[in-house]
Structure 1
Amino acid sequence: MPCCSSDTCSSNAAATGRYRAVLWIVLGINATMFLVEIVAGLAAGSAALQADALDFFADAANYGISLFVLGMSLRWRAGAALVKGASMGLFGIWVIGSVIWHALHGTVPGWHTMGIVGMVALAANAACLALLYAWRDGDANMRSVWICSRNDVVANLAVLAAALGVFGTGTGWPDIIVAAVMAGLAIQGAATILRQAMEELRQDRDDNAVPILR
Structure 2
Amino acid sequence: MKVAARSVEILQPGLEYGVIAGHCEKGFAVTSDRGPINANVAVSCLVEPQRGDTVLVSVDDTGCSYILSILERDEDSRRKTQLSFEGDVSVAVRDGSISIASDETIALASKNFELSAHEGRVCLEKTSFFGNLVESNIARIRIVADSLDSIVRRAVQRFKSTYRYVEEHEEVQSASTRMIVDGTLTMHTKNTMHIAEGHVKIDAEQIHLG
Q: TM-score range by the shorter chain?
A: under 0.3
Greater relative contact order (Cα < 8 A, sep 6+): 1
Greater share of residues in strand: 2
Greater share of residues in helix: 1
TM-score of the aligned structures, taking structure 2 as reference length: 0.17
| Greater radius of gyration (CA) | 2
TM-score of the aligned structures, taking structure 1 as reference length: 0.17
